[in-house]
Amino acid sequence: MSDASVKYLLDERDIPTHWVNLLPDLPGEPLPPLNPGTLEPAGPDDLSAIFPMALIAQEVSGERDIEIPEQVRDVYRSWRPSPLFRARRLERALDTPARIYYKYEGGSPAGSHKPNTAVAQAFANAQAGIEKLSTETGAGQWGSALAQACALFGLECEVFMVGSSYDQKPYRRSLMQTWGATVHRSPSDLTQAGTAQAEHATGSLGIAISEAVEVAARDPRCNYSLGSVLNHVLLHQTVIGQEAIKQMEMAGDEPDVVIGCVGGGSNFAGIAFPFVRRVLAGDARTRFLAAEPAACPTLTRGVYAYDFGDTAGMTPLMPMYTLGHNFVPPPVHAGGLRYHGDAPMLCGLVRAGIVEARAFGQNETFAAAVAFARAEGILPAPEPAHAIRAAIDEAEAAKLAGEERVILFNLCGHGHFDLSAYDAYLAGELEDPEFSEAEREHALATLPSAPAIS
Ligand SMILES: *Cc1c(COP(=O)(O)O)cnc(C)c1O
């Protein structure tokens, strides 16, 4: 046996004690969310009907490090610290001089990074005396994470699941129900937002968010919970990158490029933001690469503008790269990446040139996932398969350039509930939908009126 390590493990006492809040480090003044009625900055009052004060405080906090409640760290112990792997077999298969590392978040109960924030959010709501949470879910990963977190803290959980995923992934629904959640196919006939969108039978995250927000807004016992996009969600995910910094030190390496897939931006922020802090401080020169689907190319083809977070226009306006809140992305298998916008904090970093973005087609993404599974064993979810595609491209570029590039990516979830997608790929039946110029014009024609941003 060689002594070349393939995994770097931390102890439970190395679970971070604080989350990394990048908000005060960001260049320039942060653009506030706006109340859509007045176009004035949205304040705590705009949010308090559906979020607890503790999370609102995190959303706007100027503190650089925010303490993780002991009860949340206690739950994190079940699967954190997560392992960091060196992909030695993949490196050999690619015959690349690059060194490839990945942080694996698929070992959590729900099988993705989502429990890192689900637990923090359920805890904050339970502390505030809330009895129920409503939410949306795309591929089902967020709904399962929140269902389990609600069960841990004694909350009811009601989930609106995007129609195409509800049909493709029945066992994600079973998982949510096993943890005690109620699950509806979205668009449903239980809300005005769902009824109004009945013609979009495949659904979208934007529609499901409108349904869940409506349920929370009309029930004082119930709050709403979002699995991505918002500042406090990105904050909770920074345990990933903090652990990765320690593990890369154990490996004696420093990443040249950090890669994550982007749906709303939370797993990307989770691995990248602790490294971004070092770059903003002038202590490192790491590159950052966000990988998104060509069918929903928010960062690479969207416009930077104020837009709603949901389809019905119930949320505050957020400054972000958007394809328009009316855009209903084609039902690609990476359901978690079918969102018209992205986290404002991540968009600001793309705008500032600190994060690069690339879009990938469905087939090239699955080709990368299969190559990875054959070399490394783990079957990736279709979402992080985009990060793997980007990592393999970086490793091949390093080979062409004859460089020893160090690549770190976030393997943010396993694909055990996505085998119908693998079946379709292996049978040669996957399509490669692209976002057309006509769709772009149509989607952008309906942006809400708001101040332009530069
Ligand atoms: C939810 C999810 C995503 C997309 O959301 P982000 O906020 O961009 O991370 C990607 N991968 C997996 C496995 C997910 O569960």
pLDDT given for residue 371 in this prediction: 98
pLDDT of 442 strictly over 90 = no
pLDDT of 343 strictly over 90 = yes
Cα of 337 from ligand 1 centre, angstroms = 7
| Mean pLDDT of all residues in 346-351 | 97
Six token digits for residue 149: 């977190």
| Mean pLDDT of all residues in 179-204 | 96
CATH of domain 18-68+113-231: 3.40.50.1100
Task: For residue 331, give Cα distances in angstroms to 91, 195, 272, 321, 383.
Answer: 32, 20, 28, 21, 13
Can you list the positions of beta strands (E) in 74-181? 84-86, 99-104, 132-137, 156-162
Question: Coil, strand, or helix at residue 67?
Answer: strand
pLDDT given for residue 331 in this prediction: 84
Q: Residue 50: phi, psi to the nearest 5?
A: -125, -5
Other Cβ atoms closer than 10 A to 43: 14
Other Cβ atoms closer than 10 A to 453: 13
Question: Mean pLDDT over all residues of the chain?
Answer: 95
Nearest to 289 by CA among 358, 381, 366: 358
The string of DSSP codes covering 268-328 is: HHHHHHHHHHHHHTTS---EEEEEEETTS-HHHH-EEEEEESSSSS-SPEEEEEES-TT--
pLDDT tens-place string over residues 193-221: 999 999 999 998 889 999 999 999 999 99
Cα of 112 from ligand 1 centre, angstroms = 8
CB of 228 within 6 A of ligand 1: the answer is yes
Q: Nearest C-alpha to atom 5 of ligand 1 is from which residue? A: 263
Q: Nearest C-alpha to atom 1 of ligand 1 is from which residue? A: 336
| Mean pLDDT of all residues in 423-432 | 96
Fold of 79-111+236-444: Rossmann fold (3.40.50)
pLDDT given for residue 91 in this prediction: 98
pLDDT tens-place string over residues 98-142: 999 999 999 999 999 999 999 999 999 999 999 999 999 998 999
Cα of 263 from ligand 1 centre, angstroms = 6
Six token digits for residue 35: 């109340």
| Alpha-carbon gap, residue 223 to 220, rounded angstroms | 8
The string of DSSP codes covering 105-171 is: -TTSTTSBSTHHHHHHHHHHHHHTT--EEEEEESSSHHHHHHHHHHHHTT-EEEEEEEHHHHHH-HH
Q: Nearest C-alpha to atom 3 of ligand 1 is from which residue? A: 336
Identity of the residue numbered 94: L
| Mean pLDDT of all residues in 170-189 | 97
| Alpha-carbon gap, residue 364 to 349, rounded angstroms | 27
CB of 262 within 6 A of ligand 1: the answer is yes
Nearest to 381 by CA among 409, 411, 408, 410: 411
Q: Nearest C-alpha to atom 7 of ligand 1 is from which residue? A: 266
Confidence of residue 290 (pLDDT cuts 50, 70, 90): very high
Contacts of 74 (CB under 8 A, 6+ apart): none
Q: Nearest C-alpha to atom 14 of ligand 1 is from which residue? A: 336
Q: Can the peptide bond before residue 187 be classed as cis, meaning omega within 30 degrees of 0?
A: yes
Cα of 40 from ligand 1 centre, angstroms = 31
pLDDT of 295 strictly over 90 = yes
Which of 112, 298, 409, 418 has most ligand 1 atoms within 8 Å of CB, for mutation? 112
pLDDT given for residue 2 in this prediction: 56
Confidence of residue 453 (pLDDT cuts 50, 70, 90): confident
Contact yes or no for 304/347 (Cβ under 8 A): yes
Percent of the chain residues topping a pLDDT of 90: 87
pLDDT tens-place string over residues 84-108: 999 999 999 999 999 999 999 999 9
pLDDT of 1 strictly over 60 = no
| Alpha-carbon gap, residue 159 to 181, rounded angstroms | 7
Six token digits for residue 444: 């952008």
Confidence of residue 3 (pLDDT cuts 50, 70, 90): low
CB of 266 within 6 A of ligand 1: the answer is yes
Question: Coil, strand, or helix at residue 139?
Answer: coil
Q: Which burial class, exposed, middle or buried, applies to 312 when counting CB atoms under 10 A from its CB (0-12, 13-18, 19+)?
A: buried
Contact yes or no for 210/314 (Cβ under 8 A): yes
pLDDT tens-place string over residues 51-73: 999 999 999 999 999 999 999 99
Cα of 151 from ligand 1 centre, angstroms = 21
CA atoms within 13 A on the CB side of 409: 31
| Mean pLDDT of all residues in 12-20 | 98
| Alpha-carbon gap, residue 165 to 173, rounded angstroms | 10
pLDDT tens-place string over residues 305-333: 999 998 888 899 999 999 999 888 888 88
Q: Can the peptide bond before residue 109 be classed as cis, meaning omega within 30 degrees of 0?
A: no
Task: For CATH 3.40.50.1100, list the domain ranges present in the chain.
Answer: 18-68+113-231, 79-111+236-444
| Mean pLDDT of all residues in 355-370 | 98
Six token digits for residue 164: 């195409």
Atom of ligand 1 nearest to the CA of 111: 13
Which of 261, 288, 378 has most ligand 1 atoms within 8 Å of CB, for mutation? 261
pLDDT tens-place string over residues 373-421: 999 999 999 999 999 999 999 999 999 999 999 999 999 999 999 999 9
* H/E element, 409: strand 406-411
CA 102-172-341 angle, 5° bins: 65
Contact yes or no for 231/60 (Cβ under 8 A): yes
Percent of the chain residues topping a pLDDT of 70: 99
pTM over 0.95: yes
Question: Coil, strand, or helix at residue 161?
Answer: strand
Can you list the positions of beta strands (E) in 122-230? 132-137, 156-162, 182-186, 222-224
| Mean pLDDT of all residues in 221-243 | 98
| Alpha-carbon gap, residue 103 to 107, rounded angstroms | 11
